[in-house]
Every structure is written in C-alpha cells, then in structure tokens.
Amino acid sequence: MGDDTKQPIIIKKIKKGGGGAHGGAWKIAYADFVTAMMAFFMLMWLLGSTAQGDLQGIADYFQNPLKVSLAGGSGSGDSSSVIQGGGKDLTASHGQVKSGDVKAPRKTINLQKLKAEYEKAERAKLAGLKGELESLIDANPVLRQFKSQLLLDLTSEGLRIQIVDEKNRPMFDSASSEVKPYTRTILREIGQTLNKVENHISLAGHTDAQPFASGGREFSNWELSTNRANASRRELVAGGMEDQKIMRVVGMSSTVLFDKQDPYSPINRRISIVIMNKRTEEALLADGKTVDVESAQEVQEGVLGTASAATSASAAPPDHIP
C-alpha cells in the first residue's frame, strides 16, 4: 500500500487566446501612426505660420550650427551675434538683421533748423501769453487801474513785464525798498498768474541816475535796486508763485535806463520781470557763459546814458535821493 502523501503535483498551464485578427498589437501600431501624422501636420502648420525671417534663421542654423553655439543669440542672423553670416547670399535682408556688411541709408538732421523752429514756436507761445496777460489786466479791476504802469514786450530773453514808477505814484518809498500797498497788490496778482507758466522767471531792479548824498561810498543805487528786486520777489511768492521758478534776482542800478533822454525820469525806477525762454535758461545754467539783460544795443546806450548822467549829476542837488 503506497503512501498517499507522496503523490506527484501536476501544474496545468492554460494558454489564453489565439491572437489573430482580434489581437491588440495592431492598435499600438495604429496609435503610433496617428501620433506621427499629428506631429507632421503640426510641423506643417508651424512652418506655415512662421515668418520668413525666422525660417531663414532656422535654415542658416542647419548650414552653420556652430555659429549660434559660439556666438549665442536666437539665430545666425541675430543682431547680438559678433560673427557675420547666415546663408549663401550675404546681401539677403531677411531675418533680424542684414547678412554681411550692408550699409544702411543715413538720415541727416539739421540741428540749426530744428533749433530755429523750436525758438519760433516758443516765441509764438510767449506772444500768446502776452495777449493773455493783457486780457487779464483789462479784466481785473485791481490791475486795470494800474495799466499805465504795466508794460509788456518781447525781448531776446523772453516776455518782459515792467512795473514802472509814475510821478505821483511811486512803487517804493523814497530811497527805500519798502513796497507801497498798491505795488504789493500788483505783484501778488502777477505772481498768481505766473505760477501757471512752466518757464522760469528773472527779476531785475532799476533806479534813475540820481546819486545818493554819500556819493555811493556807503549805500548806492546798486544796493537799492537789488533790495527792491528782492522785495518784489517776496511779494510774487506771497501771491502764490513757487520760489523755485525764480532763477535770477539782480540789481541794475541805472545802467539800463528806460528813458535815455532823461536819466532822472521816474519811469527809470522800475522792476523788470522776465519770463525766460529756453535759450536764456540754458545760458544761465551753463558755466562760463553770460546772458545779456537787454539787447546789446540797449546795454550800450544804457552805458552811454549813465556816463552822460554822471556828467550832469554834479548840477543836481546833492541831497536828492532816487
């Protein structure tokens, strides 16, 4: 009698399916084919939507691939590349830059003509501002009563506003920089208007040719004209004008007379406010350059007028104070 525990173990292998027409290998092949076709049509679409310059760059890359590797850039025709090249035709202009050394047409700019056109436009702008200020004076009851003392004109420096003395209505106390009440009103009204202008401002004080009793050894018309110009600056700022708009405050004494025939006329005692043009501003900011306060002819005539005034000053009363 045999031992049942020692019977052999039989392993049966079952082979599933036979493949044939119903296998899955063809599906994998079909998927690869469809993927390849999609990639092909996508490549065609990309090539069709790419600019001619980019296509030329791609073609140049395959002709000289080391150029991009060595020189960098997005293509062999990149403007940042230091190596020239990109195709067989060195005169081709497709892509980012021209291949080879092709001279581009040069444009010439006439700086003098541009400067003249700018100055012409700026002068027209200042002329328009002059008309606006004249209309403001006529419309403002306060300024209208002092219209005869407000003189506006265009000079080589820009638009000049002059506030002059009248015989019975001086702007300052005698031999003083103390501003009269009506002068304070005029300056503050003008300051409020000038703050709306982008140009910078220049201030100059003027006196007549009458000397001080001391003969100018202690206090002269130079100090007086400077103090009056600075007092006018304070009133303009008090009227609303920004202090940064003022680039120059000077005292001219009697060197530039308004009435050259009569150096002692009250009209020579005045304050000049100049809305400067661009050329005058640049000349002020430049080192080693000077800016004429008036035209050259006016300065020359002013100096001659001062000389003649000094000659006749000896005949004037010594205690007369401007």
Q: What is the pLDDT of residue 103?
A: 58
Residue-wise pLDDT for 301-321, tens only, equals 544 454 444 444 433 433 444
Structure tokens at 65: 């691939």
Alpha-helix residue ranges (DSSP H) falling in the chain: 25-49, 52-63, 65-71, 111-139, 141-144, 181-194, 221-238, 278-285, 296-313
Confidence of residue 233 (pLDDT cuts 50, 70, 90): very high
226 pLDDT exceeds 70?
Answer: yes
Q: What's the whole-number average pLDDT of the chain?
A: 76
Q: What is the pLDDT of residue 231?
A: 94
Task: State the pTM of this model.
Answer: 0.55
Name beta bridge partners: 248. Answer: 202
**Nearest-angstrom CA–CA distance, 254 and 213:** 16
Domain boundaries of the chain, sorted by first residue: 26-101, 111-313
Phi and psi torsions of 10, nearest 5°: -105, 125
Structure tokens at 69: 């590797």
Phi and psi torsions of 85, nearest 5°: 145, -165
- The structure tokens 């039989």 sit at 10
Q: In what order do the strands lie in the sheet with 270-276?
A: 150-154, 158-164, 270-276, 201-206, 246-251
Q: What is the pLDDT of residue 225?
A: 93
Closest C-alpha to 320, from 209, 168, 170, 169: 209
288 pLDDT exceeds 80?
Answer: no
Closest C-alpha to 239, from 201, 284, 289, 269: 201
4 pLDDT exceeds 60?
Answer: no
Phi and psi torsions of 178, nearest 5°: -75, 125
**Nearest-angstrom CA–CA distance, 56 and 295:** 64
**Torsion region of 57: left, alpha or beta (phi above 0 gives left; psi -120 to 50 gives alpha):** alpha
Which residues contact residue 158 at a Cβ distance below 8 angstroms, ignoring those fewer than 6 apart? 126, 199, 274, 275, 276, 277, 280
**Nearest-angstrom CA–CA distance, 253 and 298:** 15
Q: What is the pLDDT of residue 24?
A: 72
Residue-wise pLDDT for 44-95, tens only, equals 888 788 777 777 777 776 766 665 555 555 555 554 444 444 444 555 555 4
Closest C-alpha to 77, from 105, 56, 63: 56
AA identity, residue 112: Q
Residue-wise pLDDT for 113-126, tens only, equals 888 888 888 899 99
Residue-wise pLDDT for 214-223, tens only, equals 776 788 999 9
Q: What is the pLDDT of residue 151?
A: 92
Superfamily of domain 111-313: OmpA-like domain (3.30.1330.60)
Q: What is the pLDDT of residue 316?
A: 42
* Cα-based distances in Å from 217 to 221, 223, 226, 264, 314: 11, 11, 16, 20, 16
Residue-wise pLDDT for 157-175, tens only, equals 999 999 998 877 888 887 8
